[in-house]
Chains A and B, each alone.
Chain A
Amino acid sequence: MLLPLALFPALTACPDDPEPEPSEPAVAEGIFAERLGQVVPYATEEQQATFLRGQEVAMKRFTPEDGLGPTTNVSFCGSCHERPVLGGGGPRYRDFYLEGTSLADGSYVPGNKNGVLTSYGYHGEVDRTPLTEGANVVVHRNPIPFFGVGLIAELPEESILANEDPDDADGDGISGRANYDRGFVGRFGRKAQTVSIEGFIRGPLNNHLGITSDPLTEDQKSRLPIDSSDTAQQASASPEGFRQAAAPEEPLADADPVADPELAPEELFDLVSFSMLLAPPAPDAEPSEAAVRGRALFDQVNCSGCHVRGLVGERGLLPLYSDLLLHDMGEAMADSVVMQVATGSEFRTQPLWGVAVSSPYLHDGRADTLADAIEWHGGEASSSRDAYAALSEDEQADVIAFLESLGGSEQRTAGLLPPDFPIPQPGTPGAPLPLADAAAEQLWLEGRALFDDDFTIEKGLGPVFNGDSCRACHFDPIAADGLRTVGGAGPLGVNVMRHGTLDADGNFTAPAYGTILHKLTTFGIPRREHDDTHNLFEQRQTPTVLGLGLLESVEADDLFALEDPTDLDGDGILGVVHDLGDGRVGRLGWKAQVPNVREFVRDAMTAELGVTVPSEDGFTYGVTADDDDVADPELTTAEIDATAFFIANLAPPMPTEDVAGGLDAFEAAGCDGCHIPEIPGSGEGFPTPAYTDLLLHSVAAPNTPGIDDGMALGTLFRTAPLWGLSGSAPYLHDGAAATVTDAIAAHDGEAQASRAAFDALSGSEQDALIRFLETR
């Protein structure tokens, strides 16, 4: 081969000198914050204020009354973008499904809600959204982190296009091509299907929450961190540079009765700004020796063929380790979903900054670990995968160390609690009852970790599940700093769906697999779908487990003493103990269907996580074997010990405020007929009233259908304890009441007289009663 003439002087002038390395652009300065979740350091004072407002919008709980629905997956943005902090990705329990139909002519038609399969229906929609008729593609998606997206938005298109090699002209087996959205190079989403952050927010808000919005106005666009107004665009020689924040999109409308747009325009502005101002993960300032070696190996095996170190924008090089291009990842990774030019096997190179805290990995969250993720790479990445596999174990560990050095690792957590989070102080939600000694503290902490940590597929999660940890559903209230209450209640988006068949005579039949219609599955397992015979659905709100140990301590005799099944006292209130028929009485759960905390753990681990439990004498709840690949039992007795100990020793929620006249109004309305403050004979040890008799009552209107659970037929529900109301909205067994007032108004049946009495109270008495309840 003849060398180009121009190279000869350089080669001949200094034959002994090493060939000069091409200079690498400097990493952009002033873009990193100290920790993930913080604002970029270059934000103006005004932008910092916007950032804080945007945080609030991201955590705002939407209710059906706000426009949530008609179909949804979750009720707030922070549901899915929560790890390790707000703005991140989501654990596996936040996976969702894309659904569509691949047709004979090769076309792909997204199904359901713009291609998103939703789990809940409101406003008269069916409770559980069924698959679109004919759908033959149902695939997982794991939520994607937002850290640094504002900087990615700033990248000029040329920076992305420079790495294109669609026909593999250089013959390295790696091609790479851009996706396009509205005429511009796409850069956000698993398939780079979106060009603008505004679109990347408005779309999911609509698809996952059913919250409609109008596009940002010109004034708002001009105030974004990147001026995206038409004026700025028209004044620019590079108009595409202004599309990455806010591309024109149409107003959205939906079929629920709430007026569109359901998101206030300034809320959208704050949310988009917040996202754009989230600082990117900062690579370790002083990477370990292993990480340094790993970086060289990363290049050696050509991971950097797609995961290029960075792309250059006006601020310098952004070390995101992605070319933002589409690559064919092979058949094993393919999902059949077509998005613009992206085929079913093409995916955007996922940025690796912050990868240490973004498990599970890959577009569908199928990989528990980075090593697993590498092994799944195929297609254009096959040679790199094979080269990685050929490395020694130590070298592979170095590569992983390098990846983990790319930001955020100090915030890595196996659940959602920050690493080494201490035992909360007494009086704080999630604090324990007094613990006897250091050993007890240690066991409680072990139990808390088991409650908070995500169960991986390797640990036995699934095959069907609702949550991948106990905390996945029990985390409310969330403090202002984002800290979850491990053991708390759960919002609408984690409601459990129960279902079955009610015949014409009112007889309920549960499906063979039980009444729970699970929301999720592990990778490769189809979502469980109901069939046409199932005509009764009931959501179950996640109640708090704070204080459960105290409820367990109530003597059965004290409960039986409260029964009045034939209304002997003529007050219209009956109440029966849920006698489980095996010598035990139920007291936990919406239908008092569980007798104690240990059974509660066994039941929930199996029913909600798909984790099998060991056989234990005297305990009957839970399933001891399932058909996933993990050996049963997937939980040890010691792990159940720790988890049960943690729950049993969680202090009950404490009132947040004294409300003058509140208890008087409560009693005047007769609420204490069922919600008795203290169960006679069992008050000892309760630091605060529970406001329950733990009995079953029917508080629904006559002929309301309901799902049976043992002797708790139909509409019989346990009197819900009222402690913790301040942090456990929405209310009632199905979460149908957004407010305490709504919950009172929904009481009927045995509670009819009390509701009428409440209506008869004076305005100030009602206010006092509502405030009293809201602060329990």
Chain B
Amino acid sequence: MLVAALACTGCPQPATGDDPSPSDGLTPASWTVALQSDTDVGAFLSVWGSAPDDVWAVGGQVSSVMDPGTGAAYRRVDGDWAPADVPAGTPLLNWVHGTRSRVWVVGNAGAALYRDADSWVDTDTPTEVPLWGCWVVADDDVWAVGGDTFDDEAEPVLIHWDGTSWTNHPMPTLDGRNPAAMFKVWAAATDDVWAVGDVGVIVHYDGQSWSQVLSGTGNDLISLWGIGPDEVVAVGGRSIGTIARWDGSTWTTEEVGRFAGLNGIWMDPSGDAALAGNIGGAGIVFASGFETELEDSGAGVQVLHGIYGFDNGERIAVGGSLDRSPPYVGIIVETE
């Protein structure tokens, strides 16, 4: 495992000396702070874009960790970040994903909205718990997952949008774990959907039903991404970076001590994955293994919660003071 100290990553050196390109995978990069939001806006929890010229970052503010809060969104068009309206009463938004045609956001209190033309459409979900993640396969095929981590009796939520309404899907029987929430969902296809959550739970949907696939870790898994049915990577760990890799048959997990807990992942088509985590942690886990490299994200001690990238090598990470008491402040960092 290749691990570089934080202090050494201020001057990253490309691994090969070549210019980065999509076919070469990810290389360590210099990051800059693109935006810092104050307490009027709050923190950012997720970032996604259909293209480099149309990127969304969502989040918001809460008065306490039990408060549904107020949602906020920013949009980067032509390189400039600017506030974007969200409907009044929208709670803290936890995730954004979409397609060229439709952007979805989900958040606290079961909120799920999509953008139709230039306006938001609120949908009626069958839950009041926070929705932590969503994945849009198509306009009529959207998954959202969530759960209330402050309620010992709570059960995770898996819901599906068929273009008209949301439907609850039951959690499968688990191996003795008792998760309160699932945090993120990712799909390779309509019949190949993964979700990760509390206490290392990983579940898979085959088009008919959900079933558990053992992860090899009891650490919380916060997010996941993939580039195909045989290459999916999940990350998590609250106090130690945890990386789980699916190779088409099994999940294998390792812990990476030099990463504080990991919250966000995005995978380049090469299989390299960009990581975002606590205490400003950013880095790369290289394809097919667990070799990692830390980067200086420029986010200081702020939590990086979400990360996204493009084939041109650009990466964007978002977060804020999420490990401190509210009110939060937020940050968006980008690779140069």
Contacts and interface: CB of A to CB of B under 8 A. Distances in A.
Nearest to A104: B175
A233 B175 contact: no
Contacts of A101: 176-177
A3 B143 CA distance: 67
Contacts of B322: 250
A233 B301 CA distance: 9
Given A230-B301, A260-B64, A341 B323 contact: no
B38 to A, nearest CB: 16
B333 to A, nearest CB: 15
Contact of B239 (A182, A237, A338): A182
A109 to B, nearest CB: 4
A214 B151 CA distance: 19
B324 A248 contact: yes
A46 interface: no
A290 B199 CA distance: 51
B239 A104 contact: no
Interface string B136-167: 00000000000000111000000000000000
A319 to B, nearest CB: 27
B92 to A, nearest CB: 15
A108 B65 contact: no
Interface in B261-306: 261, 278-279, 281, 300-301, 303
A490 to B, nearest CB: 29
A488 to B, nearest CB: 36
Contact of A338 (B218, B261, B325): B218
Interface string A91-132: 000000000110111111110000000000000000000001
Query: A-side binding surface: helix, strand, loop or mixed?
Result: loop
B257 A341 contact: yes
A250 B65 contact: yes
A182 B240 CA distance: 5
B258 A180 contact: yes
B257 A183 contact: yes
Given A183-B260, A340-B255, A239 B7 contact: yes
B87 interface: no
Nearest to A107: B218
Contacts of A182: 239-240, 260-261, 278-279
A253 B7 CA distance: 34
Nearest to A218: B324
B90 interface: no
A184 B253 CA distance: 20
Contact of B177 (A109, A185, A233, A255): A109
A156 to B, nearest CB: 12
B150 A110 contact: no
B133 interface: no
B217 A107 contact: yes
A18 interface: no
A728 B99 CA distance: 67
B323 to A, nearest CB: 4
Interface in A207-262: 214-215, 230, 233-234, 237-240, 247-251, 253, 255, 260-261
Given A134-B176, A250-B323, A237 B218 contact: no
A177 to B, nearest CB: 9
B156 to A, nearest CB: 15
B117 interface: no
A100 B200 CA distance: 14
Interface string A714-725: 000000000000
Given A105-B175, A107-B215, A181 B239 contact: yes
Interface in A320-369: 338, 340-341
B6 interface: yes
A215 B324 contact: yes
Nearest to B237: A340
A404 B239 CA distance: 36
Nearest to A108: B218
B216 interface: yes
B255 A341 contact: yes
Nearest to A110: B218
Contact of A103 (B175, B255, B278, B301): B175
A654 to B, nearest CB: 47
Interface in A168-213: 178-183, 185, 193
Q: How large is the interface on B (under 10, 10 to 19, 20 to 34, 35 or more residues)?
A: 35 or more
Nearest to A178: B257
Contacts of B260: 182-183
B66 A183 contact: no
Contacts of A341: 240, 255, 257
B188 interface: no
A109 B220 CA distance: 10
Interface in A589-631: none
Given A107-B200, A183-B257, A183-B259, A253 B325 contact: no
A178 B301 CA distance: 23
A527 to B, nearest CB: 20
Q: Considering residues A109, A239, A247, which has the most beta carbons from chain B within 10 angstroms of its beta carbon?
A: A109
B323 A215 contact: yes
A260 B325 CA distance: 11
A394 interface: no
A193 B152 CA distance: 24
A133 interface: yes
Contacts of A215: 323-325
Q: Considering residues B177, B257, B261, B323, which has the most beta carbons from chain A within 10 angstroms of its beta carbon?
A: B257
A340 B240 contact: yes
Interface in B216-257: 216-219, 239-241, 253, 255, 257
A239 B6 contact: yes
Nearest to B242: A340
B200 A340 contact: no
B241 A253 contact: no
Contacts of B303: 248
B214 interface: yes
B209 interface: no
Given A215-B324, A251-B324, A104 B240 contact: no
A29 B257 CA distance: 33
A183 B279 contact: yes
Contacts of A240: 6
Which 5 pairs of residues, A with B, have the shortest CB-CB distance? A180-B257, A105-B214, A183-B260, A107-B218, A109-B218
28 contacts: A101-B176, A104-B214, A105-B214, A105-B215, A105-B216, A107-B216, A109-B176, A110-B218, A134-B178, A179-B257, A180-B240, A182-B239, A183-B6, A183-B259, A183-B279, A214-B325, A215-B324, A230-B301, A234-B300, A238-B7, A239-B6, A239-B7, A247-B279, A248-B279, A251-B326, A253-B66, A255-B150, A338-B218
Given A103-B177, A183-B240, A215-B323, 17 more contacts: A101-B177, A105-B215, A107-B216, A108-B218, A134-B178, A181-B239, A182-B260, A183-B241, A215-B324, A215-B325, A230-B300, A237-B7, A238-B7, A248-B279, A251-B326, A253-B64, A340-B239
Interface of A: 100-101, 103-110, 132-134, 178-183, 185, 193, 214-215, 230, 233-234, 237-240, 247-251, 253, 255, 260-261, 338, 340-341
Interface of B: 6-7, 64-66, 150-152, 175-178, 199-200, 214-219, 239-241, 253, 255, 257-261, 278-279, 281, 300-301, 303, 322-326
